[in-house]
């Protein structure tokens, strides 16, 4: 293929996810430039330009971040802003790529340290830089002491998303205590018409999209819990203008790749400049950096879209699939799974699981996952965590006969584990009470009757790796559901010196990542799901080491519409597991049809978690039909471009999502009605993202379109004229696929 041809195809692909490619001049690896005369660094990729310079104080000062500007346009040299008043020094008024706390800085610093002699002043100046392919590394150093910081920028050529991180190195002769360390500060063009979107939640109620105007002061998004948390997710999007909408307008967004305590601050300073700083949460944090040692921060990814928050999500989805996931750039589609949790809870045993597996296989399930309850003395949540041997009462012959049966039914097998936890009623805890977080002599607070193992300890790390290694080496397991059902309390680490204990916030996560990395290397065929009582550990850090996530324990199909909508702002449907469970749902005692439940789940990575022993033949028939239909659109749903045509948020009676295949050869819409009122028909649905010139044949997956709907019409027809869905009643759902055809004869 010629290079020009490749570029044309690339342009089509990137246009499909909302990426502008002006001229497509830059090649991967050639996106970063330094202008010696103005001392401005410039990153141009994916329709985005990011620029900053070395100013007259030798500090790194942001210059521009937004839509790509022509290569011919030169940015002026960065010059420090003047002192605004005796209360606001130049250091504070001048935006900084990575500011040390010192010299009268009053905005959020990126780095704050204490030296043993009491000095806490840190002023970082440019020393040198290197550009290697898609990575820029800049070395900064304190004006007086040998405290060095390397800041890294890695650019993704396709999306223009830049990953930023820092490595702090102590080249002094004494230890230095790091009190705050961010990955990066992002600065937006000066303005007062910004609004911030972020995600909040709780157990079984995750992924609520919040929106608020950015006003003077600071908004803090964070987790102090030791892990990512359900309550805030490390993602933000900032829109500009009075009325930004889903598909148009400037949006800056970012996501932090860290699964421990984290913080993102969004700050409008006294000169109305907006800065976003993110990294380790400084709360209860300190890290003693010995001479010669380094501390590396997480990566804070940032991007820009001129296609509204919809465009921003598509960029992130594409980036996650192509660059973050362990199977990137071409992750395998998620198989249709069955999970036993809601059907049997802890009461798992061989005949019971085999009976469910037979029924699951009959409807087209591809992976059978046995959840909690199979190990130790695990009869309920009071005992057994930590004792990872097969419970002989439940599985007298071990797991093998059941796994063999699952294989003979044509499915692969997955197993639930919760490696970082222990019940006090367990052999492990009786043997190693010192392995959990604790402050000597103080109570140990249980949640769900369990305590958190201190994974920062290397003996605990080895125990966890070894038991997983043992399970995987002795059983044919294709998948681990890795759960994590509480947050930290009393995070003491008495085995190390008091001034080293708070390093637990870093070392725990490093060991977690290390175990996952090592397991993946040893068992490359094993896929892993990140679950934390639902969506409590979803972030770009864990996604680099796992293949999918469980967004919520709330499986009510109507609540799921909103949960999935919120999730999709930051994360791709390609990792979003969604099970069809029983009706009425446990969360709201709400009854829905099996078709409604399937269509809700088919917008993500489909699973079934219902008690199949209770299903009627009609329900089996519907399930079989819809699973088969799902397999025909799953590549588009999981790896395509998502358009949130009508959001279920804010009490909307209707919601519609559309996914379009990357090559635009297929589109699929899912439409939901909460309850029709006053006899009004369903609002017309206008598709997006199709190829205007291609013809598409529409086929019903479930439900009907208005009788006068053409069978085949152009992309422009479906997008401009739209389609009328015939739908009335309560909790109704419909889905349609649009497949490109080469002729327009409707009978074909
Ligand atoms: C919480 C998970 O989110 C559920 O899906 C289930 O695996 C339970 N834990 C099991 O204890």
Q: Check pocket membership of 485 for ligand 1, CB cut-off 6 A.
A: yes
Each residue's pLDDT tens digit, 569-594: 999 999 999 999 999 999 999 999 99
Q: Token pair for residue 54?
A: 């070395």
**Confidence check: pLDDT of 18 > 80:** no
Each residue's pLDDT tens digit, 159-191: 999 999 999 999 999 999 999 999 999 999 999
Residue 244 pLDDT grade (very low, low, confident, very high; cuts 50, 70, 90): confident
The position carrying tokens 């909040």 is 200
Closest residue to atom 3 of ligand 1, CA basis: 533
Each residue's pLDDT tens digit, 528-543: 999 999 999 999 999 9
**Confidence check: pLDDT of 364 > 60:** yes
Each residue's pLDDT tens digit, 301-352: 999 999 999 999 999 999 999 999 999 999 999 999 999 999 999 999 999 9
pLDDT score, position 13: 46
pLDDT score, position 743: 62
| pLDDT above 90 coverage of the chain, percent | 94
Q: Judge whether 423 and 383 are in contact, CB under 8 Å.
A: yes
**Confidence check: pLDDT of 12 > 70:** no
Residue 713 C-alpha to ligand 1 middle, in angstroms? 45
Closest residue to atom 10 of ligand 1, CA basis: 372
Q: Check pocket membership of 341 for ligand 1, CB cut-off 6 A.
A: yes
Which stretches does DSSP call E strand in 133-250?
135-142, 147-155, 162-170, 176-187, 194-200, 208-213, 217-223, 235-240
Closest residue to atom 5 of ligand 1, CA basis: 553
Each residue's pLDDT tens digit, 96-143: 999 999 999 999 999 999 999 999 999 999 999 999 999 999 999 999
Q: Token pair for residue 721?
A: 């004229």
Structural domains present in the chain: 3-324 (2.70.98.60), 337-639 (3.20.20.70), 642-741 (2.60.40.1180)
DSSP 524: T
Threshold 0.85, pTM exceeds: yes
Q: Judge whether 59 and 69 are in contact, CB under 8 Å.
A: no
**Confidence check: pLDDT of 8 > 70:** no
pLDDT score, position 287: 98
Catalytic residues: 483, 553
Please state the atom number of ligand 1 nearest to the C-alpha of residue 532.
3
Q: Check pocket membership of 492 for ligand 1, CB cut-off 6 A.
A: no
pLDDT score, position 2: 34
Residue 533 C-alpha to ligand 1 middle, in angstroms? 6
Q: Check pocket membership of 416 for ligand 1, CB cut-off 6 A.
A: yes
Residue 14 pLDDT grade (very low, low, confident, very high; cuts 50, 70, 90): very low
Please state the atom number of ligand 1 nearest to the C-alpha of residue 550.
3
Q: Judge whether 206 and 198 are in contact, CB under 8 Å.
A: no
pLDDT (average), residues 12-36 = 63
Closest CA to 62 of 16, 17, 28, 94: 94
Residue 417 C-alpha to ligand 1 middle, in angstroms? 10
Closest residue to atom 11 of ligand 1, CA basis: 372
Residue 28 pLDDT grade (very low, low, confident, very high; cuts 50, 70, 90): confident
**Confidence check: pLDDT of 7 > 80:** no
Closest residue to atom 6 of ligand 1, CA basis: 341
Residue 553 C-alpha to ligand 1 middle, in angstroms? 7
Residue 207 C-alpha to ligand 1 middle, in angstroms? 18
Q: Check pocket membership of 108 for ligand 1, CB cut-off 6 A.
A: no
What's 64-110 look like in SS3?
Answer: EEEECCCCCCCCCCCCCCCCCECCECHHHHCCCCCCECCCCCCCCCC
Residue 444 C-alpha to ligand 1 middle, in angstroms? 23
Residue 180 CA to residue 100 CA, distance in Å, equals 10
pLDDT (average), residues 392-405 = 98
């Amino acid at each position: 293929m010629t290079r020009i041809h490749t570029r044309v195809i690339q342009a089509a692909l990137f246009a499909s996810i909302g990426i502008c490619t002006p001229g497509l001049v830059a090649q991967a690896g050639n996106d970063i430039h330094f202008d010696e005369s103005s001392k401005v660094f410039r990153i141009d990729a994916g329709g985005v330009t990011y620029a900053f310079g070395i100013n007259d104080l030798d500090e790194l000062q942001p210059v521009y971040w937004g839509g790509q500007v022509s290569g011919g346009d030169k940015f002026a040299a960065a010059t420090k802003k003047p002192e605004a008043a005796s209360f606001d020094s130049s250091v504070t008024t001048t935006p900084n790529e990575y500011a040390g706390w010192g010299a009268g800085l009053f905005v959020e610093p990126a780095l704050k340290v204490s030296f043993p002699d009491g000095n806490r002043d840190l002023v970082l100046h440019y020393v040198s830089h290197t550009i290697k392919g898609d990575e820029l590394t800049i070395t900064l150093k304190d004006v007086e002491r040998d405290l060095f910081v390397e800041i890294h920028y890695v650019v993704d050529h396709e999306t223009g998303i830049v990953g930023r991180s820092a490595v702090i190195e102590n080249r002094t002769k004494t230890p230095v205590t790091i009190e705050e360390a961010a990955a990066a500060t992002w600065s937006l063009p000066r303005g007062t018409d910004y609004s911030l979107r972020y995600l909040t939640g709780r157990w079984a109620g995750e992924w609520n999209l919040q929106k608020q105007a950015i006003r003077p002061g600071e908004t803090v998004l964070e987790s102090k819990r030791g892990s990512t948390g359900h309550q805030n997710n490390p993602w933000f999007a900032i829109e500009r203008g009075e009325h930004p909408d889903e598909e148009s307008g400037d949006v800056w967004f970012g996501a932090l790749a860290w699964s421990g305590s984290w913080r993102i601050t969004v700050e409008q300073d006294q000169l109305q400049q907006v800065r976003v700083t993110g990294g380790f949460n400084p709360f209860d944090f300190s890290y003693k950096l010995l001479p010669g040692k380094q501390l590396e921060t997480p990566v804070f990814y940032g991007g820009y879209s001129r296609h509204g928050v919809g465009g921003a999500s598509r960029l992130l989805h594409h980036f996650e699939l192509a660059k973050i996931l362990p199977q990137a750039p071409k992750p395998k589609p998620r198989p249709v799974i069955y999970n036993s949790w809601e059907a049997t809870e802890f009461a798992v045993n061989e005949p019971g699981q085999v009976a469910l597996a037979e029924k699951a296989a009959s409807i087209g399930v591809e992976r059978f996952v046995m959840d909690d309850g199979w190990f130790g003395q695990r009869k309920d949540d009071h005992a057994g965590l930590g004792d990872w041997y097969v419970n002989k009462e439940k599985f007298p012959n071990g797991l093998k006969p059941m796994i063999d049966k699952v294989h003979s039914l044509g499915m692969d097998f997955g197993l639930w584990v919760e490696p970082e936890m222990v019940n006090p009623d367990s052999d492990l805890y009786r043997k190693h009470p010192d392995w959990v977080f604790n402050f000597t002599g103080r109570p140990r607070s249980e949640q769900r009757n369990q305590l958190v193992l201190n994974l920062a300890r290397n003996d605990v790390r080895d125990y966890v790796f070894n038991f997983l290694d043992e399970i995987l080496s002795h059983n044919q397991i294709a998948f681990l559901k890795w759960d994590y059902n509480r947050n930290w309390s009393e995070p003491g680490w008495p085995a190390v010196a008091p001034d080293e204990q708070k390093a637990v916030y870093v070392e725990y996560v490093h060991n977690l990542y290390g175990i996952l990395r090592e397991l993946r290397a040893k068992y490359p065929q094993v896929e892993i799901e990140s679950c934390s009582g639902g969506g409590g550990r979803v972030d770009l850090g864990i996604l680099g080491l796992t293949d999918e996530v469980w967004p919520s324990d709330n499986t009510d199909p109507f609540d799921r519409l909103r949960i999935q909508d919120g999730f999709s702002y930051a994360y791709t449907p390609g990792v979003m597991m969604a099970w069809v469970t029983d009706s009425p749902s446990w969360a709201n005692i709400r009854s829905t049809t099996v078709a409604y439940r399937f269509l809700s789940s088919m917008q993500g990575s489909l699973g079934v978690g219902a008690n199949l022993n209770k299903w009627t033949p009609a329900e089996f028939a519907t399930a079989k039909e819809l699973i088969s239909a799902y397999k025909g659109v799953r590549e588009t749903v999981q790896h395509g471009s998502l358009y949130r045509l009508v959001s279920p948020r804010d009490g909307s009676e209707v919601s519609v999502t559309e996914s379009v295949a990357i090559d635009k050869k297929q589109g699929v819409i899912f439409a939901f009605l909460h309850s029709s009122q006053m006899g009004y028909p369903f609002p017309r649905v206008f598709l997006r993202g199709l190829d205007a010139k291609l013809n598409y044949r529409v086929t019903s997956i479930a439900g009907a379109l208005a009788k006068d709907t053409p069978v085949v019409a152009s992309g422009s027809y479906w997008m401009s004229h739209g389609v009328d869905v015939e739908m009335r009643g309560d909790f109704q759902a419909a889905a349609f696929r649009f497949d490109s055809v080469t002729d327009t004869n409707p009978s074909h």
